[in-house]
Amino acid sequence: MILESRIEKMVGELKAGAGLPLAIELWNGKRYALGERPTVTLRVLAASSLKYLMNADLGKLGEAYVEGLLDVEGPIGDAMRAAEGLARRWGGDRKGRAPLLFRNIHTKKRDAEAIRYHYDVSNDFYALWLDRRMVYSCAYFRTGEESIDVAQEQKLDHICRKLMLKPGERFLDIGCGWGALVMWAAERYGAQALGITLSRNQHDYAQARIRELGLEGRCEVRLLDYRDVPEERSFDKIASVGMFEHVGHDNLGAYFGKIARLLRPGGLVLNHGINLGAPNLRELGSDIGEFIDRYVFPGGELTHISVAMEEMSAHGLECWDVESLRPHYARTLWHWVERLEANRAAAVAAVGERLYRIWRIYMAGSAHGFERGWMSVYQVLAGKPLADGALELPGTRDYIYSR
């Protein structure tokens, strides 16, 4: 009774302030509407679950949902907006923590384990909601009306055009996923493409697909850590898409240093990665960072775009073009969430209810975070200057967009 009366008081305060499109339903059937026309119902399944509301933050609400202590009914986008309102009014904030007193240690063994945890869930599971080429990174929407299949192909082509890939050039894709970019680069641009990944599932899938397409001898995928790529022969072009987030703040120097050594003078590199929205943060606030580290990306670390550019420059990579794809990633994630929800039964059969909930809330929360500007995603195109300081680049960006 004391808990219920406290909930009633909190609901009254919230309704008096800014109503949310949310109703809270308790285990005993009592229901409290926080706005005039709630589109989302948050079900508190036991009295012990009330603690997640009393000091609400987004990470704890996500944890309670994943562990089956709270349930949500209604559009997941509305649910994320309502959850932010609860966190803002009932306890947590969304400020990231200041510099940490400890750091994640990114050894080869730990990084391999983290990658396997995230990516070796099930190829069949990912295929339920990714596009037909299995691209697990931000798509590129020219009009906003494209299907996810078309938008991902546009992204692959956008990268190849930025890098000015030419027939016969040696191309390296660091963290290549299921191999879509190396196959695109080999088939459409005639590159000699090598992709590397730490995921056995991705490696086996990509190699099988390369054989199916008859691309053997023109591209391959190896199970290899970026730190172990041989440096005897340089690459003309390098891309890293969605890998940057796994490197670790303390390893950025070693990471970009390795890329610089692998790249020939005059060569180009494109780094595509998620970044924090403010330069003074080390992780997403409201316990979002802790939630992601625990449930989704163990050891993942985000940083601000200025840090990435500083590290690239420190290792002789001259940043030439920087493009934010923040709206594109929000749209991409909502496509994924919609497809996952449409295939809920198959997803649960493949990985179970708990993992289904993890990916649903993680991707919906990420989409909301991109929309709110808490994080962004940037493509940074950089060159390794020739001995005389020149870059093998046109004077304008017209070549990227001309058809």
Rg (the chain; Cα; Å): 23
* Res 16: pLDDT: 56
Q: What is the homologous superfamily of the domain 108-401 according to CATH?
A: Vaccinia Virus protein VP39 (3.40.50.150)
* Res 341: pLDDT: 98
Greater confidence (350 vs 53) lies with: 350
* Res 249: pLDDT: 86
pTM: 0.90
Name which of 168-182, 332-346, 382-396 the model is least confident about: 382-396
Greater confidence (74 vs 93) lies with: 74
* Res 189: pLDDT: 98
**Percentage of the residues of the chain whose pLDDT score is greater than 70:** 86
* Res 288: pLDDT: 80
Q: How far is CA 52 from the centre of its chain?
A: 26
Query: In the chain, where does the domain assigned CATH 3.30.1050 lie?
Result: 2-90
Asked if 202 and 178 touch (Cβ cutoff 8 Å), the reply is: yes
Mean pLDDT, range 289-295, rounded to an integer:
82
Mean pLDDT, range 274-281, rounded to an integer:
82
Q: Cα(360)–Cα(350) distance, rounded to whole angstroms?
A: 14
Mean pLDDT, range 276-297, rounded to an integer:
75
Mean pLDDT, range 11-24, rounded to an integer:
71
Asked if 22 and 40 touch (Cβ cutoff 8 Å), the reply is: yes
Query: In the chain, where does the domain assigned CATH 3.40.50.150 lie?
Result: 108-401
Residue 1 pLDDT exceeds 60: no
Greater confidence (165 vs 90) lies with: 165
Mean pLDDT, range 206-226, rounded to an integer:
97
Place of tokens 């796994």: 246
Residue 119 pLDDT exceeds 80: no
Greater confidence (287 vs 98) lies with: 287
Highest mean pLDDT among 7-11, 103-107, 300-304, 373-377: 373-377
| CATH code given to domain 2-90 | 3.30.1050
Q: What are phi and psi of 77, to 5 degrees?
A: -65, -45
Asked if 61 and 86 touch (Cβ cutoff 8 Å), the reply is: yes
Greater confidence (287 vs 329) lies with: 329
Task: Say which residues have a Cβ less than 8 Å from residue 29's Cβ, sequence separation at least 6.
Answer: none
